Structure 1
């Protein structure tokens, strides 16, 4: 069914699928009844609608409503519904906790007054089409009433069925409103398409023309989207397309000619066998520590991601691949087992991975307290003796126990005296 509305067509259809009915918890039923009783429209929006239409049960349910935040607050206060995260109110979002079991984020319909490529000044509206028009992609611009009625203002359902990713309305304008939409285009392209080459040419042209706008976007937001692209479908094809369009310098990467494309292609070929951390794709793509640190300064990696990337970049040409070598790294140099496993995936060392994953990491049986009980009080002397004992312990394949090592104490202290004298 299509309804004429302001020079566009609104597709309306009624859902009656098992996936749709599966979302109706007692809490959602209560929320729906509250909005119905007070005369305000409440609809599912965005990813939840897309997933339900795709036959997938959504993880998160986001809602839009014709009620303003103040009206929602009055309703919830009257119904003794607890509200959380009041910071969302300035963006038009109220979070209601129903029955102390389930949280629901409900956002008032909005229209953009002005945008600067990062933020938008908005005002509230009761027009669903206007709210849909400010969204990024057609597959994200649909609403689903809780009676099962789909409200589709921009042909999102047809695009979803055709596995197409298109911007809502004017592509260039949508991108200039928020340049992060460039990366969101590629993320949803990987999620929806069945063909990694089936891009919308007008979208690619607009992305290329506006690539520099990504320099306005915070590193955290860049990495949030990029890491999901790298973890998603067609990561190899999508990232290469992004590089061809000139996005690299604006997301912290060198130009394509200064990247290790061959290693990147190899890790992508291994995706069917291994799950890789998103930063691993970047680490093998880059060539040295300086490139890693420049990328880190742009996107603000976590300390774990930064250190994993540095470990991988330094291990890239590693020729010493043996169980004992990596055991020594873990015990003596305190390298994280997860870093080593990630590297060995790239090297396709199945046997070593299994052995390390089943290996119980031994604990060095001597510490400073042990040596103090033998009358050694000087901190430097304790450090010297522990270092010597650990080397002996490692050489024994971690077999020597506390008593075995303490037998060596007289010889080590003698060597210490000789070195001092």
Structure 2
């Protein structure tokens, strides 16, 4: 490719200076002594230019992995064996207190839309050219000089999100870049309009997303749906690009509900709550799970919101309904040791139906009464062992709940031998118990 004269600028702010720990200075001197170049790369440079202290700092170097390992071994620097070494990344730990990830400059040789075969290079421009967005293609040397080959500095200043070089080529190298584009648009853009050619490139290449792994899709999407401007970003993804089927979302997404809930609770809502806002029934959560391979807790939260949402809307101002849900989720026999997780599901349900702050605080702070009967109590009272104990336990639990939690242990045990106790089969218990 043609050599480009990079744009440079000096940076010297407090966030940059705080990076220079004694360990980083030691790392810098280690590379300089052997004439290997070492620079901060990518997102950390972008954040520093936006006056944001970077959470993670990645480094790039002209040294190959073999050269780095020889150097660290010679100076008795501990190396951590992490995934990534096969891609040219070496992780070292200096003074047993700070880790550094350094990746050799690379150029993509063959790309299949998911991963690339790479070769090492000493050309910083070639490495910058293989990155996704201009704002992520920047380097920063350890003297404070930002090196920019593709207009990333200007794009940060104007809050423009653009692919490096040709958008179609960048997308075809890794189709996940479609989602990365939208994530960074939400994080950085100061407008809601997308450049026509960028949207056209995404639409032309969206079928490639079918080959992306579920984990990679969900990693990006969960950041988008609770990120800055999530409602506007989702609207573009769905209405302009029609990405739903590649994300496991229903064809007809409820963007109005998503917008309303996001604008009310954007700082405290969970990603699965926002996904549930787009859906109308539990089957759609099942399809989303098929595409994204949710964790068990994420899937159960989505299913819980979809199964309870209509009742929650109808009982939005009914204190007893919400209290009953708390008690059913946390106190019903068999739900021991799950209280915190189950309470949070109820809080997320309340947010998904736009409960007021007073009700949410009540749900968060309500101290659930303790059901006074255990299986041991029943056996000591002479109830025959086996499945009948659980039937009696559920029967007494329902009596206690109907009394608004006032029935005493003594009075409940008096009812343990009632002749009309229903036979709660496994299927019946499952149907009346909240999903776990």
- What is the TM-score when the length of structure 2 is the normalising length? 0.89
Does residue 280 of the first structure (1) align with residue 284 of the second (2)? Answer: no
- 1:112 touches 1:121 (CA, 8 Å); kept in 2? yes
Structure 1 residues not aligned, in runs of 5+: none
1:363-420, CA deviations, whole angstroms, 9 ceiling, x for partnerless residues?
32221122223333412231122122212322333344xxx3233323331426999x
Q: Among residues 309, 312, 315, which one is paired with 1:316 in the alignment? A: 309
Of stretches 324-333 and 149-158 in structure 1, the one that deviates more from structure 2 is 324-333
Stretches of structure 2 lacking an aligned partner (at least 5 in a row): 331-338, 424-436
Cα distance change, pair 408–56 in 1 and its aligned pair in 2 (3 A): closer
Measure how far apart 1:325 and its partner are.
1.8
Residue 290 of structure 2 is aligned with which of 286, 297, 308? 297
Q: Which of 7-16 and 233-242 deviates more?
A: 7-16
**CA contact 2:383–2:416 (8 Å) conserved in 1:** no
| Native 8 Å contact 1:44 1:61 kept in 2 | yes
- Aligned residue in 1 for 2:246: 250
Q: Distance in 1 between matches of 2:206 and 2:213?
A: 14
Partner of 2:88: 92
Q: Counterpart in 2 of 1:363?
A: 370
Q: 2:171 aligns with which of 145, 150, 175?
A: 175
RMSD (Å) for aligned C-alpha atoms? 1.9
Deviations 1:261-300 (A, max 9, x none): 332232133146x521112121111111111111110011
1:409 pairs, out of 413, 419, 436, with 413
Question: Is 1:14 matched up with 2:21?
Answer: no
Quick check: 1:15–1:148 contact (8 Å CA) kept in 2?
yes
Residue 66 (1) aligns with residue 70 (2): no
Report what 2:254 is aligned to. 260
Distance 2:415 2:370 in 1: 23
Secondary structure of the corresponding residue to residue 83 of structure 2 = helix
Task: Work out whether residues 389 and 405 of structure 1, in 8 Å CA contact, stay in contact via their aligned partners in 2.
Answer: no
Distance 1:411 1:277 in 2: 43
- The CA deviation string for residues 209-268 of structure 1, in whole angstroms up to 9 with x for no partner, is 00111101011111111111111111111111111212111111232xx22233223213
Match of 2:220 among 222, 225, 230: 225
Report deviation, 1:301.
1.2
Residue 189 of structure 2 aligns with which residue? 193
Shift, 1:170, TM fit? 1.3
Q: Which residue of 2 aligns with 1:269?
A: 263
1:119 aligns with 2:125: no
**Structure 1 residues 418 and 285: alpha-carbon distance in aligned structure 2, compared to 1, 3 A threshold:** closer
Deviation of residue 58 (structure 1)? 0.5
Q: Give the conservation status (yes or no) of the 8 Å contact 1:64–1:106.
A: yes
Shift in Å at residue 166 of structure 1?
0.8
Offset of 1:71 from its aligned partner?
0.8
For residue 75 of structure 1, the aligned residue among 67, 71, 92 is: 71
SS in 2 for 1:123: strand
Which of 361, 365, 379 is matched with 1:354 structurally? Answer: 361
- Map 1:84-163 → 2, pairs under 5 A: 84-163=80-159
Q: Does 1:394 align with 2:404?
A: no
Task: Tell me how far apart the structure 1 counterparts of residues 203 and 237 of structure 2 sit (CA, whole Å).
Answer: 9
Q: Does 1:379 align with 2:389?
A: no
Match of 2:426 in 1: none
TM-score by length of 1: 0.92
1:330-366 CA-partner distances (Å, limit 9, x unpaired): 3224481111111212322322211121112333222
**How many residues were matched structurally?**
408
Shift of 1:149: 1.2
CA distance in 1, matches of 2:421, 2:134: 78
Matched residue, 1:211: 206
Relative to structure 1, the CA distance from residue 376 to residue 292 in structure 2 (aligned partners, 3 Å threshold; closer, same or farther) is: same
Alpha-carbon separation, structure 1, partners of 2:23 and 2:380: 63
Structure 1 residues 11 and 416, CA, compared in 2 at 3 Å: closer, same or farther?
A: same
Q: Hey, which bits of structure 1, 4+ residues long, moved more than 6 A?
A: none
**In the alignment, which residue of structure 1 is the partner of 2:345?**
339
CA distance in 2, matches of 1:269, 1:38: 53
Judging changes above 3 Å, is the alpha-carbon distance between structure 1 residues 365 and 145 closer, same or farther for their aligned structure 2 residues? Answer: same
Distance in 2 separating the partners of 1:228 and 1:328? 33
